[in-house]
Amino acid sequence: MFFAVCKGRTASTASTILHAADNETMAPDELATRWTIRLALVCSLAAAMAEVSAGTDERRLRMARAAWTAGWALYLAHVACAFQFYHHWSHAAAYFHTARRTAELSGRNWGAGLYFNYVFTAAWTLDTFTRWCCRSARRRARPLLTAWYGFFIFMVVNATIVFETGRVRWAAVAGLAILTLTWINSRRTRVKDSG
């Protein structure tokens, strides 16, 4: 349903992301943690593409909102899985894990990136509720909307491109490229329609 919104363009990207699993067998807790975030990203990509290309099409905007909400719910499931199976509901354990991963990548033992995740969770929650509770959500202040989408992309890029490798990284690059091309195409279409 969500992929039909994007005229099939997301289907191949979704397939790439969904098949980016490691070849080795994963434990159920790892499967749940990884697949909830992968599906969350597929839903948010479908939602963003639908919203970018929707213009004033209310049906497409409703489908984008539904996909965005599904992505948010799956993201919350991912956070719950990570805290349940990996951090045992301990902020300190999550902070240590973040610091260790950051040190592996940059050499700097810094766990404060975890707070970016908390802000991200709160912002996505607020944005999702705003989409459902305020009919004027699409007319929010442009700088605020731009800042939110910029932060969203920053977090996704860090999670999937900076801190990941292999197929997950390339699936994320492909998804961002497709979203960028969709955005460029929708801008061109709007310019042609208004001119």
| pLDDT tens for the 195 residues of the chain, in order | 333 334 444 444 444 444 444 545 889 999 999 999 999 999 999 999 998 888 788 999 999 999 999 999 999 999 999 999 999 999 999 999 999 999 999 999 999 999 999 999 999 999 999 889 886 766 666 788 889 999 999 999 999 999 999 999 999 999 999 999 988 988 777 666 665
Sequence-distant (6+) residues with CB within 8 A of 124 are 72, 75, 152
pLDDT of residue 83: 97
pTM of the model: 0.83
Distance CA(38)–CA(71), nearest Å, equals: 9
Q: Are 125 and 136 in contact (CB under 8 A)?
A: no
Sign of CA dihedral 61, 66, 68, 69: positive
Chain-centroid distance of CA 121 in Å reads 11
